[in-house]
């Protein structure tokens, strides 16, 4: 008999984990509770209809796992958005400057991304319409998973040398493992409303993406306009606790006009909504510290999920998959694999968690552990970095490198950068950094 790995979850994290194991394990079995239906959203992924992006670091990680991924995704209609030159970002400190830089994001509808991943990862055994209901083994070692067909309710045991939990924020592994799982929960009460739009002809492919961030501690409204396949836009409006974006067309536009800057509303006012506006309530941010149990690894949102406003989820899932690939290469499927991958996943998680929680805990209605003195000092310095980044491109570039997880947050503490941060006066501007041609595009059609 050969080696076998069972991956619980057939979403982005699951197929990336399968890609990491493919070739190193004789049989990789992916267990997915939904049925795949081309590029249509899966029923079990309610967030799948909302804005998704893969940051540059994540795209490079996937490319390392699956050469040709980026070309395939762009070929399927995804848009490559240069950061910050191709996106207008309004922060609590004003508009970020636009300039050519190495960072970018890939924007598309999530079902398109999942379809590309499924096409690229070959040689898998895939069990659709099947859900995981438990783990095999004992408190020291997991030896497989118990799964159940959703069609007829029949259960079966899948023995395995390794079980990977990629079931997302709804993971039940903390109940299935026979050891205590520590966690931290931060809940900003995020709600979304998302529309797919067909822009006015003059704007299609000619206007940059737009992101208007909320403004702590009181203003919990935000919105993003991202290009996706077929020249369309996906527009997600967000509200932190107490702010619920409406799903009727008039209310959607009114909410957009109420953001900290009206640019999102100005951009979408002449667009046509395609289909219905969808609502979504994101789960609380949670970081689960799973124990090191032989034969078991958790990745992606099963370990940590964040406020989706920051767009880190899929990128961290890709970094987790790289950690899994490297762990298997170094340790095989032996007892050292689980603790090694657990540590690497924690490292991949740490900066994204710090960025999300550092922002979320600044809003007055966020449910979270009390901020300690080090947290308040870090928040003060983060404000200074944000203010300096709004007027100094070199600080903006460093912040962007950290935000995209392409550089560790610790890089923002380099002495030369600290001096620039602390000596830059705040010069916030409400005037978007548009080119003359872009301003002309916003003018009402005659």
Q: Are residues 276 and 288 in the same domain?
A: no
* pLDDT computed for residue 1 by the predictor: 64
- Token output for 137: 């083994």
Average pLDDT (138-166) is 97
Q: Are residues 277 and 317 in the same domain?
A: no
Average pLDDT (131-142) is 95
Residue 172 has pLDDT above 60, yes or no: yes
Which of 356, 386, 409 is the endpoint of a domain? 356
Residue 131 in any domain: the answer is yes
Average pLDDT (73-88) is 97
Residue 426 has pLDDT above 90, yes or no: no
Q: Are residues 115 and 181 in the same domain?
A: yes
- Token output for 342: 């657990």
Q: Are residues 307 and 232 in the same domain?
A: no
Q: Are residues 30 and 126 in the same domain?
A: yes
The CATH number of the domain holding residue 248 is: 3.30.70
Which of 256, 281, 306 is the endpoint of a domain? 281
Average pLDDT (417-437) is 89
Q: Are residues 145 and 255 in the same domain?
A: no
> What is the per-residue pLDDT across 277-291, written as a single tens digit (0 to 9) for each?
999 999 999 999 999
Residue 248 in any domain: the answer is yes
Are residues 298 and 346 in contact, defined by beta-carbon separation less than 8 angstroms?
no
> What is the per-residue pLDDT across 359-399, written as a single tens digit (0 to 9) for each?
999 999 999 999 999 999 999 999 999 999 999 999 999 99
> What is the per-residue pLDDT across 191-242, written as a single tens digit (0 to 9) for each?
999 999 999 999 999 999 999 999 999 999 999 999 999 999 999 999 999 9
Residue 182 in any domain: the answer is yes
- Token output for 268: 């979408």
The CATH number of the domain holding residue 140 is: 3.50.50.60
Average pLDDT (408-433) is 91
* pLDDT computed for residue 429 by the predictor: 75
* pLDDT computed for residue 188 by the predictor: 96
* pLDDT computed for residue 50 by the predictor: 85
* pLDDT computed for residue 179 by the predictor: 86
Residue 403 in any domain: the answer is no
Residue 53 has pLDDT above 70, yes or no: yes
Which of 301, 326, 356 is the endpoint of a domain? 356
* pLDDT computed for residue 444 by the predictor: 64
Q: Are residues 261 and 300 in the same domain?
A: no
Give the separation between CA 310 and CA 224, rounded to whole angstroms. 11
pLDDT tier for residue 445 given thresholds of 50, 70 and 90? low
Q: Is 175 helix (H, G, I), strand (E, B) or coil?
A: helix
* pLDDT computed for residue 45 by the predictor: 81
Residue 330 in any domain: the answer is yes
Q: Are residues 160 and 149 in the same domain?
A: yes
Average pLDDT (42-64) is 89
> What is the per-residue pLDDT across 14-34, written as a single tens digit (0 to 9) for each?
999 999 999 999 999 999 999
* pLDDT computed for residue 446 by the predictor: 53
If phi > 0 it is left, if psi is from -120 to 50 it is alpha, else beta; for residue 196 that is beta
Q: At what angle do helices 12-21 and 56-65 cross, to 10 degrees?
A: 40
Give the separation between CA 320 and CA 165, rounded to whole angstroms. 12
- Token output for 109: 């509808």
Residue 263 has pLDDT above 70, yes or no: yes
Q: Are residues 17 and 117 in the same domain?
A: yes
- For tokens 């499924």, what's the residue? 118
**Full domain range(s) for residue 120:** 4-52+109-186+284-356
Give the separation between CA 286 and CA 350, rounded to whole angstroms. 12
Q: Are residues 181 and 204 in the same domain?
A: no
Share of the chain above pLDDT 70, in %: 99
Give the separation between CA 299 and CA 111, rounded to whole angstroms. 20
Residue 379 in any domain: the answer is no
Q: Are residues 131 and 233 in the same domain?
A: no
Residue 418 in any domain: the answer is no
Vertex 281 angle, CA 7 and 41, to 5°? 50
Residue 434 in any domain: the answer is no
Mean model confidence pLDDT for the chain: 94
pLDDT tier for residue 38 given thresholds of 50, 70 and 90? confident
Residues contacting residue 275 through CB under 8 Å, at least 6 positions apart: 195, 196
Give the separation between CA 105 and CA 234, rounded to whole angstroms. 14
- Tally the domains of the chain: 2
Q: Are residues 202 and 336 in the same domain?
A: no
* pLDDT computed for residue 72 by the predictor: 98
* pLDDT computed for residue 48 by the predictor: 79
């Amino acid at each position: 008999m050969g080696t076998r790995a069972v991956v619980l979850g057939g979403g982005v994290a699951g197929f990336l984990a399968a890609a990491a194991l493919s070739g190193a394990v004789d049989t990789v079995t992916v267990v997915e509770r939904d049925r795949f239906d081309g590029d249509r959203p899966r029923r079990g992924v309610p967030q799948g209809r909302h804005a998704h992006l893969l940051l540059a670091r994540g795209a490079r990680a996937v490319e390392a796992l699956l050469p040709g991924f980026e070309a395939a995704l762009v070929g399927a209609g995804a848009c490559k958005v240069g950061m910050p030159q191709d996106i207008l970002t309004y922060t609590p400190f004003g508009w970020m400057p636009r300039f050519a830089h190495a960072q970018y994001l890939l924007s598309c509808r999530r079902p398109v991304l999942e379809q590309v991943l499924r096409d690229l990862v070959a040689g898998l055994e895939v069990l659709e319409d099947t859900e995981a209901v438990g783990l095999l083994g004992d408190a020291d070692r997991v030896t497989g998973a118990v799964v159940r067909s959703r069609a007829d309710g029949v259960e079966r045991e899948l023995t395995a040398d390794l079980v990977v939990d990629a079931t997302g924020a709804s993971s039940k592994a903390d109940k299935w493992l026979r050891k205590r799982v520590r966690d931290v929960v931060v809940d900003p009460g995020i709600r979304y409303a998302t529309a797919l739009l067909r822009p006015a002809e003059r704007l299609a492919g000619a206007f940059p993406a737009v992101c208007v961030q909320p403004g702590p501690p009181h203003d919990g409204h935000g919105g993003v306009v991202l290009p996706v396949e077929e020249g369309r836009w996906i527009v997600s409006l967000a509200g932190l606790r107490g702010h619920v974006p409406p799903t009727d067309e008039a209310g959607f536009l009114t909410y957009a006009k109420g953001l900290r800057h009206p640019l999102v509303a100005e951009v979408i006012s002449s667009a046509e909504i395609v289909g219905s506006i969808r609502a979504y309530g994101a789960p609380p941010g949670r970081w689960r510290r799973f124990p090191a149990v032989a034969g078991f690894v958790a990745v992606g949102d099963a370990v940590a999920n964040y406020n989706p406003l920051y767009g880190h989820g899929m990128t961290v899932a890709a970094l987790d998959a790289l950690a899994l690939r490297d762990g298997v290469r170094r340790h095989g499927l032996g007892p050292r694999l689980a603790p090694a991958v657990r540590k690497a996943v924690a490292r991949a998680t740490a900066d994204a968690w710090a960025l999300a929680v550092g922002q979320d805990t600044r809003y007055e209605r966020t449910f979270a552990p009390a901020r300690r003195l080090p947290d308040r000092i870090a928040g003060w310095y983060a404000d200074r970095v944000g203010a300096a980044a709004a007027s100094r491109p070199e600080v903006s570039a460093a912040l962007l490198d950290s935000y995209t997880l392409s550089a560790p947050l610790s890089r923002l503490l380099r002495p030369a950068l600290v001096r620039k941060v602390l000596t830059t006066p705040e010069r916030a501007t409400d005037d978007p950094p548009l080119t003359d041609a872009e301003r002309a595009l916003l003018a009402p059609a005659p």
